[in-house]
Amino acid sequence: MEWTQRLRIRQLFVLVELYRSAHMSHTAARLGMTQPALSKWLAELESDLGVPLFQRQPKGLVPTAFCEALVVHARTILAEIDRTQLTIELMSQGASGDLAIGATPAVAAIVVPATVAALRQQYPKVFITLTEGVLQDLVSQLREGRLDYVVGRMDARVSCDSLRYEELFEETLRVIAGPAHPLVGGEVEWAQTRPYEWIGMPAGSQLWSELGFELAVAAEPPPRVCIETAGLLATIAILGRTDLLGISSYRPARFFCEAGRIAMLALPYASRGSVGLLSRREAEQTPLRKAFRECALAQADNLK
């Protein structure tokens, strides 16, 4: 009998926990097992697989390449089971299904609201989970099956054998500041931003990478960051009370400019970014997932 036919969900959970802690006794205590029982379980699993999953060292366990590969699939399976349980619970309460969407903060307020509204016209009882975060974290959740789509500022380089990227529309970077900032009101060169500190974004942010590119093209040093946040609303609120600089995608920046909350600096921008839709290639295209994609593409056409 193949080992996959004997594999149980509990075993996948134990493997992921063991991989996370990299320590036999810590994992055993967390799972309510004895260390000998956990050691026996691991030895039997490795025997079934015919490959070592961990290298035993004095300070703990070091996962092998076989373990790394198995854990990726284990996490995906566990995520699918969690999603299935949630779907059943929601449908038993009257929902027509559930959809998990990830969005980067810079674009969460651009295309996602209109897409969700359009989708609810077709599926008024759909349950939608919207997660905001940096692209790197969202892509990890997408790979594990915890998200159905990621909408964000990105480019085709995120596409690979397991992920599909579809561009929705072009979106440029803008440096933003409070309405009374000294640099507001005329043409500005990148060198003029040097004296000011910045509100930065977490590592993995596409917007922050694009700012680094713009500064490098202008032969300027990296920005001096004094605050780091992924929240656009928090950034705008802080900019209105300080002489700090921040960044945003053009469309949300224009919205808040028209509301008098911030101003966009008239800098010479060298690059153009894009907002795209990311999904897993192997994910089953359910009617609900297809409908979200079609709604997103339709709403994107209105923004071009």
Least confident segment among 38-47, 71-80, 162-171, 253-262: 71-80
pLDDT at residue 50 greater than cutoff 90: no
Looking at residues 102-118, what average pLDDT do you find?
A: 86
pLDDT at residue 198 greater than cutoff 90: yes
pLDDT in tens, 74-103: 887 777 777 777 767 766 766 667 889 999
Looking at residues 165-177, what average pLDDT do you find?
A: 91
Looking at residues 271-293, what average pLDDT do you find?
A: 86
Give the pLDDT band (50/70/90) at residue 2: low
pLDDT at residue 287 greater than cutoff 90: no
* Whole-number percent of the chain with pLDDT over 70: 92
* CA 53 centroid distance within chain: 29
Q: What is the pLDDT of residue 155?
A: 66
Which tokens belong to 255? 């919205």
Domain 3-73, second-level architecture: Orthogonal Bundle (1.10)
pLDDT at residue 139 greater than cutoff 60: yes
pLDDT in tens, 217-261: 999 999 999 999 988 889 999 999 999 999 998 988 999 999 999
CA 115/CA 170 separation, integer angstroms: 17
pLDDT at residue 1 greater than cutoff 60: no
Higher-scoring residue by pLDDT: 51, 149: 149
Q: What is the pLDDT of residue 302?
A: 80
Residue of 144, 26, 151 lying closest to 75 (CA atoms): 144
Q: Which helix (H) or strand (E) holds 94?
A: none
Q: Are 93 and 140 in contact (CB under 8 A)?
A: no
Q: Does domain 173-271 have CATH number 3.40.640.10?
A: no
Residue type, 171: E
CA 133/CA 285 separation, integer angstroms: 24
CA 263/CA 174 separation, integer angstroms: 10
**What is the CATH topology of the domain spanning 95-170+274-301?**
D-Maltodextrin-Binding Protein; domain 2 (3.40.190)
Query: Average model confidence (pLDDT) for the chain?
Result: 86
* Whole-number percent of the chain with pLDDT over 90: 36
CATH 3.40.190.10 residue ranges in the chain?
A: 95-170+274-301, 173-271
Higher-scoring residue by pLDDT: 149, 109: 149
Give the pLDDT band (50/70/90) at residue 53: confident
173-177 β-sheet, strand order: 246-249, 173-177, 263-264
Looking at residues 31-38, what average pLDDT do you find?
A: 85
CATH 1.10.10.10 residue ranges in the chain?
A: 3-73
This prediction has a pTM of: 0.68
Least confident segment among 64-73, 166-175, 210-219: 64-73
Give the pLDDT band (50/70/90) at residue 13: confident
